[in-house]
A and B are shown apart, each in its own frame.
Chain A
Amino acid sequence: MIEVHDLHKHFGGFRAVDGASLSIRPGTITGLIGPNGAGKTTLFNVIAGRLPPTSGRVTMGGEDITGLPPHELFHKGLLRTFQIAHEFSSMTVRENLMMVPPNQSGESIWNAWFARGRIRQEEARLARKADEVLEFLTIRHLADEKAGNLSGGQKKLLELGRTMMVDARIVFLDEVGAGVNRTLLNTIGDAIVRLNRERGYTFCVIEHDMDFIGRLCDPVIVMAEGKVLAEGPAESIMRNEAVIEAYLGRGLRNKGAA
């Protein structure tokens, strides 16, 4: 699905991503882990078109998508969420979802003036769809709340919900569990698994919670210092000597040995 070839992203002398190559296979929930500053989010930002790469190539389904702007990638089915939730704070939760689908006829100002009837029908359909998504994410009761008033975890759910308003091919989730309590995290995890199984979404997930990664992700890719350190099933990654050195730390191995 996504192939990254020898990708570099340098900020001045600092090499945030330093020759990373990896592939995300269709239908998987691929985990991306690594210590802080390993270049995970920068990698996301380059793939998703937020940042131009210094060098290297990204392809999706064989098509070169390097450096395409985010809104074009969206139309190709590549969606993302953000490490710090990017909700549309002055809009209601439902409106946050309803704005997502592309090519709404009401997005033309001409239609907004002269095709009110058509827009009304479309809007009714979108509102129904938004409510279904909210039902799925167990936050239907928040539909009319302003998104800016939600809790951090609810905002994360809302961001996930936005990706469900269209038929995404691949969704990049940046620390979807950051600042989210255990119950809500389980809800998010269940939603991801269901989307993967029922609607065939491919996911790439940055996460620090190893339980969450272990439960959801296969394979897991480990990054350190801008490079890919290891890749494989979660269990083998957690036993990998280099990974433990770079990320998991000795404590875990000692605990495992004890």
Chain B
Amino acid sequence: MTSVPRATSQAAPRAGADLRIPLLYLAMAVLLVVTGWIMGANYALTIVNMGLISAIMALGVNLQWGYAGLFNIGVLGFLALGGLATVLVAMPPVVEAWEAGGLRVMAGLVLGFVTILGLVQIWKRMAPGRARTWSMIVFGVAGLLVTRWVFDPGVAAVEAVSPASTGYLGGLGLPVLLAWPAGGLLAAGAAWVIGKTALGLRSDYLAIATLGIGEIILAVLKNEDWLARGVKNVVGIPSPVPQAIQLQNDPDFVARAAQLGYDPVTASTLWNKILYMGLFAAVLLVVLVLAQLALHSPWGRMMRAIRDNEVAAEAMGKDVTRRHLQIFVLGSAVIGIAGAMMVTLDGQLTPGSYQPLRYTFLIWVMVIVGGSGNNWGAILGGFLIWWLWVVVEPLGRWIFAHLIGVLPEGSWLAGHLAGAEAHMRLLTMGVLLLLVLRFSPRGLIPER
């Protein structure tokens, strides 16, 4: 026996495969630089920042789908929970609202939880049969009525506190950076509960279940005004880095900007975005390193084995249910962190803007185009798809404007083109997805 091979040793890659990743990343960087050159550095930095967040989202989905084969299409629910965490952690508490009905609301939540625990205990302790069924119905209905009797007046009182500006309980008033791990924890907690009930389902049923649960989370967020103002949105979430306005009022900063030959407005906007970029890049790096370490370890090997063949993995002593739950929770936590980061960047939580197309489907496109089962692919997909999503509209408008300019005045085609502008985004995404699936079905950077 010669040298001992590494755990993750693999068949020699095709010549050129080693160069594929750096080349694709280089091309992505060139795209971003060219965008900055044409549209301005501010525009490009905006894309980069959201690209970094998208890359983290894609890593989360890739963890679940690429490495464990779990079909989660409730991504937006976990993103929204991360966003909710930002409000709950970083916004100042609304003292008046707490005085008006905060305790009642909390008591209501506890009662609801106790009702559920009670139902579980009845289910476990009583023998199956009519007596158990009736006990559960009676206890459940009674619990619900008592809960609502306590909860509803509290909610009404809280929401009545200057509804135009607050009308909710507010948050803990803690530093906003704490919201990122908190967002991960909140999403992980939800994933644990969901996973306990839904992970027994086969892949396509799991997809439907997560789709529904994502919508339920969003519906709660939109309708429970006492929690985060629902569709009235929470704005003015504190920023972890100095805002542009703050920088402009800082004489030191203005002086240094002047030294470098920038006017204060440009310099402050850019610096604010660069600081965000540093934070986001650091999070991405940490998530990537942790994911890579885990996946190139016996843990990752076990996960791939489970993905390849659940039945055989179970026969080889691996607890498939437990492992599925574990990676579902981990992936959701990553998505939750990204959700919290996004709301921090925007400075506001707007539940009405969470569309499945943008926050579930688009993330999936990132993973599929980038290459599922490969973290480098997921990150590239995150950047590339986000870049396209942003750039395609102005680009389409520009191309169409030129075409229309060439066409004779009032021609049928010109009118048609002018109307088609708005659909460029979806068209491009569809065409790109088709092209990738046709010519590189395993994505731009395949698993191996």
Contact = CB atoms under 8 A, between A and B. Distances in A.
B9 A144 contact: yes
B320 A107 contact: no
A74 B315 contact: yes
Contact of B309 (A88, A122, A123): A88
Interface stretch (A15-23, A31-39, A95-103, A222-230): A95-103
A90 B4 contact: no
Contacts of A48: 315
Given A99-B305, A144-B9, 8 more contacts: A71-B318, A74-B315, A74-B316, A98-B298, A99-B301, A119-B298, A144-B11, A162-B316
B1 A70 contact: no
Interface string B1-21: 100111111110000000000
Interface of B: 1, 4-11, 290, 293-294, 297-302, 304-305, 308-309, 311-320, 326, 330, 447-448
Contacts of B299: 106-109, 111-112
Contacts, number: 122
A87 interface: yes
Contacts of B309: 86-89
B11 A146 contact: yes
A113 interface: yes
Contact of B317 (A71, A95, A111, A122): A71
A75 B302 CA distance: 16
Contacts of A86: 309, 311-312, 315
B184 to A, nearest CB: 15
A119 B8 CA distance: 12
Given A98-B301, A104-B298, A107-B302, A144 B5 contact: yes
Interface residues of A, number: 47
Interface of A: 48, 50, 69-71, 74-75, 79-80, 82, 86-92, 94-96, 98-100, 102, 104-109, 111-113, 116, 119, 122-124, 126-128, 131, 143-146, 162
B293 A113 contact: yes
A210 B202 CA distance: 39
7 contacts: A89-B308, A89-B309, A106-B297, A109-B326, A113-B290, A123-B6, A127-B7
B326 A102 contact: no
A91 B314 contact: no
A75 B297 contact: no
